Structure 1
Amino acid sequence: MQRTGSFKIRGVANQFARKAKGGHFVTMSAGNYGKSFAFASKHYGTKGKVVMPETAPISRSLLIQSFGIEVERVPTPRLLDVVNHCVQEENMTFMHSFNDPDLITGHARYLTIYCSLGFEVLEVVPNPDIVVVCCGGGGLLAGVAAAIKLSGCDETKIYGVEPEGGKEFNYFLSKNLIFFKNGNKKNI
């Protein structure tokens, strides 16, 4: 079910399906999103580039390159600069690894990609007390939470967890940062 070894392919496939065919895309990732991006890029016949922190394992870079995707390894503080250069100077389209509505909710044709995992939980436990979801950037957490809450499980508590030392989600929580998109709708 997870062709790249990660749930991320669910959302990435939807991102690519909603983009123009033959596009040229760029993203930044240290691992699973990059692998899924590369797999989907090959499947959809698009060009792509993954900007990776130089601290990421070389084996991940090689795997991503094996799908015909360019990899650029840079110091972590330069990741966004390189992505911005690709967008502005090379006319590439940025695909965000977690803060993208197509990634999180998907299109109805794809059973609301990340939400589908929430629906799978509800098939096994129709009204769970607690659901614990792994969390990096928050995309999977948002999708699972949406599916469960919109299915009428108002009392279900949903917790996002990340490994000790995890940076993304914990950082946003500690700084009380919220991304605003489309008016006052809040995205993590």
Structure 2
Amino acid sequence: MNAEIPSLQDIRNAAERIRGLVRHTPVIELAAGDLGVPVTLKLEYLQHTGSFKVRGASNAVALLRDATGVCCASGGNHGAAVAWAARQAGLPATVFVPGFSPRAKTDIIESLGARLHRVEGFYADALVASQDHARDEGAFHLDAFDGPHTVAGQGSLGLELAGQVPEGLPVLVGCGGGGLYAGVALALDGRNPVIAAEPSSAPSLTAALEAGTPVDVEVGGIALDSLGARRAGGIATAVGLSFGMKTLTVADEDIAAARALLWQRLRVVAEPGGATALAALLAHPGQFPDGAAVVVSGGNVSL
């Protein structure tokens, strides 16, 4: 596992590079009576294209030199972010998605002018198709969660949180391949413990940390399109091991309950992956007696 891990300075540089491109998203604080423990929600679903992914995509695209086009594999959110960032930079984009990617996400990709290709199978199959396209067409492949420039861009969210939540407060983030977890953990650099929350139906980082290296797992469940990476990224695995991080896993019914609560209490529309961090808090409240900060990472779902 030879992961190229971004430094804190890399993340600070990324945040400065994408300043003015991405939104500084707000937080709202809920008292203990609302959810059982005090919670600070980071409303990242308000980001351009409806998810945090535009941070990493914008940073990666900004660092390209002599590019004639970009491509990526995605369950939907990364593809939309790459399409958005490429359009900002005046570059053509090609996005490969597995066949089950929802229309709520693929419609965004196409509306931003990217060429969309549906691939039979899972994210891993779309990844092979994108890498083949990059080799054959000379486009730059932008990794969804395991590229250092992508992870550094996601880390800008952690820098924002440092100015929004008190030191020491645990931070919960949903995890698929682990790019958001890694970026936020590196950005906060021990100021706040960062915990990755995964669906029990797609526990890629959990398995990687247990094995000490990324390994393939079976994936499924209601958050498959956003947290369905069969193998966690090398960067996230290395960061998790270095911090001694333990993941929290949650069942599909916990994720559904968290989504319902966000809507009923706050009128926040979150996709399943976007509500997974909150699901972990609600399913494991005893681990957070003094509360936590929770990233609501995406809201791309059909109404």
Unaligned ranges ≥5, structure 1: 106-112
Looking at structure 2, the residues matched to 30 and 94 of structure 1 have their Cα atoms a distance apart, in angstroms, of 15
TM-score (norm. length: structure 1): 0.80
Choose from 123, 132, 139 the match for 1:85.
Answer: 132
SS of the equivalent of 1:141 reads helix
Q: What per-residue deviation string (whole Å, max 9, x for no partner) do you get for residues 125-180 of structure 1?
A: 3312422122121111111111211xx62xx4321112342354345345542466
SS of the equivalent of 2:177 reads coil
Choose from 101, 105, 115 the match for 2:148.
Answer: 101
What amino acid does structure 2 have at the position aligned with 1:18? L
* Equivalent residue number for residue 56 of structure 2: 11
Q: What per-residue deviation string (whole Å, max 9, x for no partner) do you get for residues 42-83 of structure 1?
A: 111101110000111234223211111111101125323322
TM-score (norm. length: structure 2): 0.52
SS of the equivalent of 1:26 reads strand
- After superposition, residues 138-177 of structure 1 pair within 5 angstroms as 138-149=178-189, 153=191, 156-166=192-202, 168-173=204-209, 175-177=211-213
Looking at structure 2, the residues matched to 36 and 172 of structure 1 have their Cα atoms a distance apart, in angstroms, of 26
CA deviation after TM superposition for structure 1 residue 22, in Å: 4.7
Cα pair 2:70 2:142 within 8 Å, conserved:
yes
* Equivalent residue number for residue 261 of structure 2: none
Q: Which has the higher contact order (CA 8 A, sep 6+)?
A: 2
SS of the equivalent of 2:64 reads coil
SS of the equivalent of 2:196 reads strand
Looking at structure 2, the residues matched to 56 and 171 of structure 1 have their Cα atoms a distance apart, in angstroms, of 24
> Cα gap change, 1:74/1:27 in structure 2, threshold over 3 Å: closer, same or farther?
same
Looking at structure 2, the residues matched to 22 and 11 of structure 1 have their Cα atoms a distance apart, in angstroms, of 17
* CA RMSD of superposed structures (Å): 2.5
Cα pair 1:21 1:46 within 8 Å, conserved:
no
* Equivalent residue number for residue 168 of structure 2: 128
Looking at structure 1, the residues matched to 113 and 87 of structure 2 have their Cα atoms a distance apart, in angstroms, of 7
SS of the equivalent of 1:166 reads coil
Looking at structure 1, the residues matched to 127 and 147 of structure 2 have their Cα atoms a distance apart, in angstroms, of 16
- After superposition, residues 41-80 of structure 1 pair within 5 angstroms as 41-76=86-121, 78-80=125-127
* Equivalent residue number for residue 27 of structure 1: 72
Aligned residues: 174
Looking at structure 1, the residues matched to 234 and 105 of structure 2 have their Cα atoms a distance apart, in angstroms, of 32
Looking at structure 1, the residues matched to 169 and 132 of structure 2 have their Cα atoms a distance apart, in angstroms, of 46
Cα pair 1:122 1:128 within 8 Å, conserved:
no
- Report % sequence identity: 30
* Equivalent residue number for residue 110 of structure 1: none
> Cα gap change, 1:43/1:168 in structure 2, threshold over 3 Å: closer, same or farther?
farther
CA deviation after TM superposition for structure 1 residue 20, in Å: 2.2
Unaligned ranges ≥5, structure 2: 1-22, 24-46, 215-232, 241-303
Cα pair 2:99 2:120 within 8 Å, conserved:
yes
SS of the equivalent of 1:52 reads strand
CA deviation after TM superposition for structure 1 residue 33, in Å: 0.8
Looking at structure 2, the residues matched to 11 and 180 of structure 1 have their Cα atoms a distance apart, in angstroms, of 16
